[in-house]
Structure 1
Amino acid sequence: MARKRKGRDISGWLVVDKPAGMTSTSVVNKVKWALQAKKAGHAGTLDPEATGVLAVALGEATKTVPYITDALKAYEFCVRLGQATNTDDTEGEVIAQSDLRPDDTAIKAALGAFVGDIMQVPPKYSAVKIDGQRAYKLARDGEDFEVEARPLWVEELVMTGRPDADHVLLEMICGKGGYVRSIARDLGEALGCFGHVAWLRRVWSGPFEARDGLSIEQINEMAHSPDLDACIRPLEEGLADLPMVSATAEGAARLRNGNPGMVIAQGIEYGDECWAAFDGHAVAVGRYKAGELHPSRVFNL
């Protein structure tokens, strides 16, 4: 017999402004403890030294995580020119150096190659799997391996500042699976001077923004109190990038049982993915077909 999970059945999103030096998993565990939540997960890992928005899904909202993971994200970061490291950030060992320092014109000209549909090789110190094992574990064990290039959509990559000859400030908007460390590494190689990430901040992820996020200190202060409950955002915010249809009362009942249900839709094409609402709450996500939603995910709210 399966052991029953302890905790409260609460659903929604808590937006956290993650500090440097904390893993994404640690943030989820902190939120879960502070809210005494039965179930929680995050939408998109941030490196331990990175800061910024980490959206934590609670309860039924965990079913909407893929839609935030797939959404566009924005990053602000600083590239340290003249040095390559084995981790592509400041945590690693310097493995190559150069005295060359490109001027601003050269840097801006090089950025164009990293915009649009590109192929990107994730860092060796990353969570991608190689033959069933995490790349970072193989790297730490001294294994010799290659990481395959993966497609990435980069909507925008712009230079925003040059504090000194060694550093350049950039902003990037990209799709799912983007590694800012790889951008820094590859930009340094393209410029012929090497490079790695000095610091990194995720400004927004889908509908969630870092400026709206709670700090870990605030979460600690409000732990186990109604004040923290009041910060939970609706599950439906995780569906912001999907069109909405309205379920009829009978349709909602059928959808909740996992069956196709009648919905009222405007501007929705046959086969479109969308979500159904009834009485202001999400009922299901699915495909629209001839006046009905065929559910792929059902919410038990």
Structure 2
Amino acid sequence: MARGKKGRPVSGWVVVDKPAGVGSTAVVNKVKWAFEAQKAGHAGTLDPDATGVLAVALGEATKTVPYVTDALKCYRFRVAFGAATSTDDAAGEVLARSPLRPADAALEAALAGFRGDILQVPPRVSAVKVEGERAYDLAREGEDFELAARPLWVERLEVTGRPDADHVDLEMVCGKGGYVRSIARDLGQVLGCLGHVAWLRRVWSGPFSVDDAVSLDEIDRLARTDEIDALVKPLELGLSGLPELPATAEGAVRLRHGNPGMVLTSSVDYGDEAWASFQGRAVAVGTYRAGELHPARVFV
């Protein structure tokens, strides 16, 4: 394979089954190195101790990251009752303990308050910025600060198992910006027994499923070989939440130059966001207006 000084112009998605004990940024850096890619990013951070889907965008696919970040995501996790921790998960220092344990009926009743449109305060050890500083940095330095509650859409939150009185297994489908650790912390507070996340796994994120994910070991094995490109999924998958509008040949040329281009449609309303394709490949994302797509992002 030809190698440029600044990397290869490879574009698409690599869906990684992130292992515990490694940060999301480290995974992105590993993937970028393995593919010798010019550019890489991810669609939604996972905590270092969390596992599961981390969708890594390469090259032009980085332009579709916001559409995957905004999509629904599914998490499976275990809440441990009886202790609050400094990080709201098992890695943190225990701050308080409780001998109380919730009955199944009380647990089911409490979960109702965590569905639909809710307000959620992020964990103090999170990447949220406070006056330009990351919350986890302020927490590490012992600073006193408050985090504002943020809106979150929780489409589904269900019990999947109760292995013992000390734990409950849950599955949650939620929108952008959800913190599973906050769910565990707040559920423990509502039930009066305290709680934190024991383990967490993201099973799907938008169009990407853990069933289609590849391990870091496999990426290491194929790193910088001709075979590794077989792991790349089309960048168009990142646009699956938007309507697709086939462009005319002339429209595709105009769109590639950043100008409005003619598209074929019968179901998209004026002002809707959509993406234009030509011969099955993404050309641009933009706003549909009277037979044309007005591009906001153009794919090279």
TM-score by length of 2: 0.98
Identity %: 69
Query: In the alignment, which residue of structure 1 is the partner of 2:149?
Result: 149
Look up the equivalent residue of 1:239 and give its one-letter code. Answer: L
Alpha-carbon offset, residue 103 of structure 1 = 1.0
Look up the equivalent residue of 2:93 and give its one-letter code. Answer: E
Mapped pair 1:210 → 2:210: yes
Alpha-carbon offset, residue 5 of structure 1 = 6.4
Alpha-carbon offset, residue 211 of structure 1 = 1.7
Alpha-carbon offset, residue 226 of structure 1 = 2.5
Q: CA deviation digits over 1:119-160, x for unaligned, max 9?
A: 000000000000010000000000000000000000000011
For 1:33-112, what aligned pairs fall within 5 Å after superposition?
33-112=33-112
Look up the equivalent residue of 1:231 and give its one-letter code. Answer: L
- Which deviates more from structure 2 when the two are superposed, residues 46-55 or residues 209-218? 209-218
Look up the equivalent residue of 2:283 and give its one-letter code. Answer: V
CA contact (8 A) 1:19 1:52 kept: yes
Look up the equivalent residue of 1:258 and give its one-letter code. Answer: G
CA distance in 1, matches of 2:5, 2:93: 42
Look up the equivalent residue of 1:274 and give its one-letter code. Answer: A
CA contact (8 A) 1:5 1:38 kept: no
Look up the equivalent residue of 1:262 and give its one-letter code. Answer: M
Look up the equivalent residue of 1:267 and give its one-letter code. Answer: S
Aligned-partner SS, 1:20 = coil
CA distance in 1, matches of 2:280, 2:165: 54
CA distance in 1, matches of 2:173, 2:199: 16
Query: In the alignment, which residue of structure 1 is the partner of 2:253?
Result: 253
* Stretches of 4+ aligned residues off by more than 4 angstroms: none
CA distance in 1, matches of 2:139, 2:30: 29
CA distance in 1, matches of 2:226, 2:207: 24
CA distance in 1, matches of 2:266, 2:193: 54
CA contact (8 A) 1:77 1:197 kept: yes
- Which deviates more from structure 2 when the two are superposed, residues 65-74 or residues 224-233? 224-233
**Paired residues, what number?**
297
CA distance in 2, matches of 1:40, 1:285: 19
CA distance in 1, matches of 2:105, 2:86: 28
Query: In the alignment, which residue of structure 2 is the partner of 1:24?
Result: 24
Look up the equivalent residue of 1:198 and give its one-letter code. Answer: A
Look up the equivalent residue of 1:82 and give its one-letter code. Answer: G
Alpha-carbon offset, residue 266 of structure 1 = 2.1
Cα RMSD (Å):
0.9
CA distance in 1, matches of 2:39, 2:131: 30
CA distance in 2, matches of 1:209, 1:104: 30
